[in-house]
């Protein structure tokens, strides 16, 4: 299967088209959808009441009984999905020709939304940074995708990353259990983030965590002497550190791997699906990971 690399995807004109390209390409590539059989299912009849849609009146019953009855079905969606996208400043980092993490995240959100809506699931999108920046409630209508893409296309980066606070705030918006998809670089304290995720899990939510990182964040490939300036502000100041990347590269990689390992181990421990994505990774990998977890 040939994946569409993120860079070439950017050449497509709008987000809607990009999401569709990703998802349809992905589905057609799989030949068999694991979600076949999900369809609307009749449950019972009830007497017509004013306000009911006329298209739901069972005209056969009216012919037999001369009374109006409407058909009742199961809920319109199988699942409520809440996609949380981290829009903090650190998500703006990019190296070389890769797209920045936020753009990558936006595409991933769009693709997942499209996929879920296509499957008649209900999807809502929440933008977070140090708090919940925007909450779009979940809907199962495919036309709702346009609303989602409009929001995604107009994202403005927020403050510093405080995932824990954001998750705590987000949990107050949740009325019913569902699937929570967190898309972030998770550049915060792993213990506190995992604690918050565990808290959501405890409330019977399904959780998928997509950690997006730039390849340069993993191996620090810079040469010579450098002054590293933080993308996120602390108050009004940006922190700066003088260092020589070549000297610290090995130690940095160890620390970063431990950091990733914390999330991998923690998520596994709490039954949370975890997927590490680098911005040079094709989106299909992310979608594949998602669907594999759903299938299981």
Partner 1 sequence: MNLTFINPALLWILPVSLLPIIIHLFFQQKPKLIKFSYLKFILLATKTVQPRKKLLEWLLLLLRCLILFLLCLAFTRPVGFFGTYGGKKNQQIVLLLDVSYSMSYSESGRTRLMEAKNITDKLLDALLPTGKSATKVLNKQISIVTFSDRINEFTKFTNDINSLKKFLATVEQTYYTTNLISAVSFAYDTFQELPAGERTIIVISDNAKHILPEEKKDIKTLIPDYDSSVRLVFIPAAGTDICDNTSINKLEISGKVLRFTSEIENFSSIRTNWSISMFKDNKRTYDNLLTIQPFSKLNYEFAYTENIEEVLTGKLQLQEDSLTTDDIYYFVHQPEKDINVLIIDGDPKLGGVNRESYYLESALRGETVEKNSGFSVTICSPEEFEKKDIIRYDVLIFCNVEKVAEIETKEEQMLIFFLGDKVSPEDYPDWLRENIHGRQKGEFRIGSIDKNSAVLSKFDEFETDKIKFSEVYELGDIDSNVIMRLNNDMPLLIEKKFESKEIFIFGSSADRDWTNFPAKTFYPYFVRALCKYMSKTTTDKDSFTAGETVRYNFEGRVRNADVILPEGTGVEPAKVIYGAGGDEIEFSKTDYPGIYLLRYELSGRQSKRYFSVNADRSKSESDTTLIKPDRLKEFFTRAYLLILENDSSLSRKVVNIIEGEELTKNFLLFALLFLGMELLVAYKSK
Q: Is 247 helix (H, G, I), strand (E, B) or coil?
A: helix
Q: Per-residue x/- marks for partner 1, 168-187, CB under 8 A?
A: -----------------x-x
Exactly one of 121, 217, 273, 284 binds partner 1 (CB under 8 A); that residue is: 217
User: From the list 34, 96, 228, 292, which residue makes contact with partner 1 (rule: CB under 8 A)?
Assistant: 228
91 near partner 1, judged by CB under 8 A: yes
Binding of residue 49 to partner 1 (CB under 8 A): no
Whichever of 247 and 292 has its CB closer to partner 1, that residue is 247
Residue 262 touching partner 1 (CB under 8 A):
no
Q: Which stretch binds partner 1 (CB under 8 A): 51-59, 63-71, 200-208, 235-243?
A: 235-243
Residue 224 is a binding residue for partner 1 (CB under 8 A): yes
The helix/strand/coil state of 45 is strand
Quick check: 48 and 118 in contact, CB under 8 A? no
How many CB atoms are located within 10 Å of the residue 240 CB? 9
Which residue's entry shows tokens 């019977």? Answer: 204
Residue 22 C-alpha from the chain's centroid = 15
Q: Are strands 69-73 and 132-139 parallel, antiparallel or unpaired?
A: unpaired
Q: How far is CA 220 from the centre of its chain?
A: 27
The residue from 243, 262, 264, 293 that contacts partner 1 (CB under 8 A) is: 243
Query: Does residue 142 sit in helix, strand or coil?
Result: coil
CA dist 25 and 279 (Å) reads 19
With binding defined as CB under 8 A, does residue 284 bind partner 1? no
Distance CA 289, CA 270 (A): 18
**CB nearer partner 1, residue 214 or residue 273:** 214
Residue 15 C-beta: closest distance to partner 1, Å: 23
Instruction: Read off the DSSP letter of residue 92.
Output: G
Is residue 214 within the footprint of partner 1 (CB under 8 A)? yes
Is residue 59 near partner 1 by the rule CB under 8 A?
Answer: no
Reduced to 3 states (helix: H, G, I; strand: E, B; else coil), residue 35 is: coil
* Residue among 230 and 264 whose Cβ is closer to partner 1: 230
What six digits make up the tokens of 110? 């769009």
Where on the chain is the footprint of partner 1 (CB under 8 A)?
Answer: 90-93, 101, 185, 187, 214, 217, 220, 222, 224-232, 239, 241-244, 247-248, 250-252, 255-256, 259
């Amino acid at each position: 299967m040939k994946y569409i690399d993120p860079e070439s995807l950017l050449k497509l004109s709008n987000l809607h088209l990009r999401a569709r390209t990703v998802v349809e390409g992905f589905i057609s590539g799989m030949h068999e959808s694991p979600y076949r059989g999900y369809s609307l299912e009749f449950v019972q009849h009830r007497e017509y009441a004013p306000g009911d849609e006329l298209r739901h009146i069972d005209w056969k019953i009216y012919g037999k009984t001369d009374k109006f009855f409407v058909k009742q079905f199961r809920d319109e969606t199988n699942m409520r999905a809440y996609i949380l996208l981290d829009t903090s400043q650190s998500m703006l980092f990019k190296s070389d020709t890769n797209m920045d993490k936020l753009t990558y995240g936006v595409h991933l959100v769009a693709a997942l939304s499209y996929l879920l809506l296509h499957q008649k699931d209900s999807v809502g999108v929440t933008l977070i940074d140090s708090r919940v920046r925007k909450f779009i409630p979940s809907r199962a209508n495919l036309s709702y995708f346009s609303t989602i893409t409009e929001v995604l296309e107009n994202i403005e980066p927020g403050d510093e990353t405080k995932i824990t606070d954001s998750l705590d705030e987000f949990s107050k918006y949740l009325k019913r259990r569902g699937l929570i998809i967190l898309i972030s670089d998770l550049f915060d304290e792993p213990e506190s983030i995992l604690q918050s995720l565990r808290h959501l899990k405890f409330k019977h939510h399904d959780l998928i965590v997509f950690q997006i990182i730039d390849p340069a964040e993993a191996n620090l490939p810079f040469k010579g002497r450098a002054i590293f300036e933080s993308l996120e502000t602390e108050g009004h100041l940006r922190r700066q550190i003088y260092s020589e990347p070549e000297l610290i590269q090995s130690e940095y990689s160890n620390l970063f791997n431990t950091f990733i390992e914390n999330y991998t181990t923690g998520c596994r421990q709490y039954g949370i699906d975890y997927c590490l994505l680098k911005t040079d990774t094709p989106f299909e990998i992310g979608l594949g990971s998602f669907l594999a977890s759903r299938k299981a």
